[in-house]
Amino acid sequence: MRRYKSRVELKAEAKELLSGRWKDAILLNVVPTLLFIIVMAISLSVLAVLWREIGLNPVSYSMASNDGDNGSGTTSAGIISTLITVGISYTFLDWLRDPEMRIQSLKQAFQVFTKKYFLGTLLIYLMTSIFVFLWALLLVIPGIIKSFSYSQAYFIFKDRKSVSEGGKVSALDCITESKKMMDGHKWEYFVLQLSFIGWGILSILSLGIGFLWLNPYLNATTAAFYKNLSENDSYDESMEVF
């Protein structure tokens, strides 16, 4: 019989997992947190420089705003941070399924950058980014809704790779399967993510340090959401393009 857990139950499951093992969880999340702090510091520094330039020379501001080096560097850091976060999410899913699992922080944080996961995870990132962008061209709201629809694709890819025994796993199939899995659950997922916004604001005000505690809690809860869906849902193999 299907039983979908409530937001409170999912958060309680995450807290229970982390109880007594916060050190492991924090060490696992150190890298993306540091990347976020670095990117935030660079962005604030650039804004400060541009602010001074506006007052002194509007022309130089215009030239600076068209300089793509800074933007490309920030974009690259964002992609790397996302891939690391996905690898950490994979670890939390395994951890939820095996609460006694040993955590090897660096190895598991960078597991996406292995032959097993890298190409497929990167393709999912690129394809979902393109799909969400195309939907957002219509209106912002459809883009946000589609991002929720595609949100489970990474976890689905991980599970498929675990049973494929080296076989190929289609990134597009994982995205489409995520759409089906999230049918009727997008609002729950939205409310679940929204429930962390207060902690997110506090973490930003702490100059990013609070993310060392927030990220493990959020990642564990998000993994618990997928685990609950995958345990309850069954879906056919017919696939459709976004």
Residues 68-125 have pLDDT tens digits of 554 555 566 668 878 888 999 999 999 999 999 998 888 888 899 988 999 999 999 9
* 1 falls within a domain: no
Dist. CA 173–CA 127, nearest whole Å: 11
* 2 falls within a domain: no
* 19 falls within a domain: yes
Residue 36 has pLDDT above 80, yes or no: no
| 98 secondary structure, DSSP code | -
Instruction: Return the H-helix or E-strand segment holding 151.
Output: none
Residues 221-230 have pLDDT tens digits of 999 999 999 9
* 111 falls within a domain: yes
Q: Which amino acid is at 237?
A: E
Q: What's the pLDDT band for 63 if we cut at 50, 70, 90? A: very low
Q: What's the pLDDT band for 56 if we cut at 50, 70, 90? A: very low
In contact, 127 and 174? CB cutoff 8 Å:
no
**CA dihedral sign of residues 161, 162, 163, 165:** positive
* 237 falls within a domain: no
- Based on the structure, what is the number of domains in the chain? 1
Mean pLDDT across 227-237? 73
* 242 falls within a domain: no
Q: pTM score > 0.85 for this model?
A: no
Dist. CA 203–CA 166, nearest whole Å: 40
Dist. CA 212–CA 200, nearest whole Å: 11
Dist. CA 117–CA 27, nearest whole Å: 22
* 113 falls within a domain: yes
Q: What's the pLDDT band for 211 if we cut at 50, 70, 90? A: confident
Q: Helix, strand or coil for residue 183?
A: coil
Give the pLDDT confidence score for residue 140 in this predicted structure. Answer: 83
What domain range includes position 181? 7-232
